């Protein structure tokens, strides 16, 4: 694999038959719709979520209304980790951890609730105007992480320590202890780190390629493979398939593990009505030559997922996705309230028979 080129396939892959695509199965529910009737909370199954970004955090918050917290494992993207002011910042790990701890700033979807930014203002006197917000309470997390990493602890160890001190009952795992650094290349410009593209550059510009630097040699963190193979349900949250979930599933051992349990793997589309619910996923798909639709997303995942959940608005893609050898179902995927997030989680679990 050439270094730097995003490796998701653009052509059709081998279609793997899925039991749910048999004529007999479809006759019972020809529209492929999932009931939104609230199921009872099921505390017994182990559920693993692959996650990155605010959309994933919303979904996980809903999932905890369906599954006991102690039975949930979240494997989190670290491709957009960055250093600011000499501190190791893990945006996705922190968003997920703060959400699970109940201290996230829900208005923003990131950072801690009740934050102040006095330290950041003072740092601006020495470094210039800041473009990446780090709150005063948030800085405590980054200071602790950086000091522990410099003392020789792994990112997995430090994440476990942070989540334990925050009172998180679910297990939160970084995808890898090795450095994977996502870069985005815009047309006519050199590639730059994801945070510079997304935050500083406000995700502007025509995307030419995405680079996952270090992905070829990175290995999954301890516990990641077991969390996948040992789960009753493995769910790809409705996150950006390139920069949020891409770094996770492009770890070779992770992708192989997902293939080995393919009937238990479901993905939720982050594309609704031809555009991303949040973030630049649609622009990235368009720039990289993929169809901006649930079908385009399903093609990216087709070799390792058994079920794909799309929004009811896009139900006309159900048959096309089934032709990829994937069970396709429709549900309300817009999580604009906690109740809707919980119903979506219930629908996804139901689609997997959990």
Q: What is the pLDDT of residues 47-58, one digit of tens each?
A: 999 999 889 999
Work out how many domains the chain is built from and give that number. 1
- How many CB atoms within 10 Å of residue 114? 10
Its pTM stands at 0.87
Q: Is residue 174 part of a domain?
A: yes
Mean pLDDT (the chain, rounded): 89
Q: Is residue 152 part of a domain?
A: no
Q: What's the CATH code of the domain at 284?
A: 3.40.50.10680
Q: Is residue 7 part of a domain?
A: no
Q: Is residue 12 part of a domain?
A: no
307 within 8 A of 326, measured Cβ to Cβ: yes
Domain extent, residue 330, equals 19-78+169-351
Spatial neighbors of 117 by CB under 8 A, at least 6 apart, are 133, 134, 135, 136
Q: Is residue 100 part of a domain?
A: no
Q: Is residue 187 part of a domain?
A: yes
Task: Provide the 3-class DSSP secondary structure of residue 171.
Answer: strand
Q: Is residue 89 part of a domain?
A: no
pLDDT value of position 37: 52
- Cα(156)–Cα(162) distance, rounded to whole angstroms? 10
Q: Is residue 128 part of a domain?
A: no
Element (H, E) at 281: helix 281-287
276-313 pLDDT, tens per residue? 998 999 999 999 999 999 999 999 999 999 999 999 99
> For the residues 192-219, what does the mean pLDDT come to?
95
């Amino acid at each position: 694999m050439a270094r730097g080129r995003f490796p998701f396939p653009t052509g059709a892959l081998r279609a793997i038959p899925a039991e749910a695509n048999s004529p007999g199965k479809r006759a019972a529910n020809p529209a492929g719709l999932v009931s939104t009737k609230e199921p009872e909370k099921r505390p017994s199954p182990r559920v693993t979520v692959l996650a990155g970004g605010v959309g994933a955090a919303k979904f996980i918050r809903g999932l905890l209304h369906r599954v006991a917290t102690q039975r949930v494992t979240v494997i989190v993207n670290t491709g957009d980790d960055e250093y600011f002011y000499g501190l190791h910042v893990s945006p996705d790990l922190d968003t997920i951890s703060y959400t699970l701890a109940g201290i996230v700033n829900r208005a923003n979807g990131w950072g801690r609730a009740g934050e102040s930014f006095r330290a950041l203002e003072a740092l601006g006197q020495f470094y210039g105007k800041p473009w990446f917000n780090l709150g005063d309470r948030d800085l405590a997390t980054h200071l602790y992480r950086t000091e522990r990493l410099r003392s020789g602890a792994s990112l997995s160890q430090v994440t476990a320590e942070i989540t334990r001190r925050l009172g998180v009952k679910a297990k939160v795992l970084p995808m890898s202890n090795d450095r994977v650094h996502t870069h985005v290349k815009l047309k006519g410009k050199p590639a730059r780190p994801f945070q510079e593209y997304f935050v500083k550059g406000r995700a502007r510009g025509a995307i030419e390629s995405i680079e996952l630097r270090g992905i070829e040699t990175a290995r999954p963190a301890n516990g990641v493979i077991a969390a996948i193979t040992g789960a009753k349900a493995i769910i790809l949250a409705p996150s950006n398939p390139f920069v949020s979930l891409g770094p996770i599933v492009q770890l070779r051992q992770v992708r192989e593990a997902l293939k080995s349990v393919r009937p238990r793997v479901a993905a939720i589309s982050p594309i609704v009505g031809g555009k991303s619910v949040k973030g630049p996923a649609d622009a990235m798909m368009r720039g990289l030559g993929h169809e901006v639709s649930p079908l385009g997303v399903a093609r990216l995942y087709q070799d390792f997922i058994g079920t794909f959940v799309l929004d009811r608005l896009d139900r006309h893609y159900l048959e096309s996705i089934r032709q990829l050898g994937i069970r396709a179902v429709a549900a309300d995927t817009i999580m604009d309230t906690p109740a809707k997030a919980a119903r979506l989680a219930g629908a996804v679990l139901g689609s997997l028979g959990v």
